[in-house]
Structure 1
Amino acid sequence: MKKLIFASILGLASFGFVACSSDDDSSTPINTNPMVGDWKAVELSYSIPNGPSHTFPFSAITAGCDVDEIELRANNSADVEVENKVNEVCTEVHHVGTWNNEVISVEGLNDKQVVSVDANQLVLKYWMTYGTYGDLEVTVKYIRD
């Protein structure tokens, strides 16, 4: 009888050492780069050469169209969505590109230099053609979309 009880206890104890598969998939790396995600332009700043500096909501330059949005993927690919008004109709255009921690390079657009990034905000600096002032270096603040 002692042998039966001992065998039962030993058998029950062995269940504690059986490993079940984990719910998390450790084969998929977790991306901790704060740049990865969807970003929406909210503020634009620039300085006119030998003139004043200006900061205003990014939507002020879109003529009623959606503001620029950037999707930065973990594989370092990028998609930039820009809406421009053509014949009074907002037309959405997507540009593909690549990114690293210093620059976002997008086909058909000027490179965007990374000024700063954290969990909630991305700040980029790039050249933009702006009305009568011509090409100006602008700083654009993006927030997570």
Structure 2
Amino acid sequence: MTDIDYRWRADLSDGELVELTTSHDGNPEHGWWNRVREHSLGWGSAHLPGGTLIGFVNVAWDGADHAFLLDPKVRPDHQHLGIGTELVRRAARAAENAGCTWLHVDFEPHLRAFYFESCGFRPTDAGLLHLSAH
């Protein structure tokens, strides 16, 4: 496998993240990264030699104990190689280094094995409020 260049808080463009998200059949709104970036504790990225972005994870936080893992993704043609797991591991370490005690994540059921087995999260009770239905 090609050496992967993992970075924390790399200078990423909105276009790079839109393209990565689109590779997952996502439909991101252009400009979202420019709005979100300033509110993040940090973000991790994975790059091929030459700089091509192939993986990303965002970490939001409450400014104290709680960090939140958001938007983890690896380009489909690079999945199942440990890149996502490494991005989550590095995000967790960065959150801990920032003084956070907890790293939260939510996910769709088909990703349980990734988060619980590969990344070490454990199940917990949580709540969700659908705001547009309120």
Task: Return the structure number with greater helix share.
Answer: 2
Give the TM-score of the pair, scaled to structure 2.
0.27
Select the structure that is richer in strand.
1
TM-score, normalised by the number of residues in structure 1: 0.26
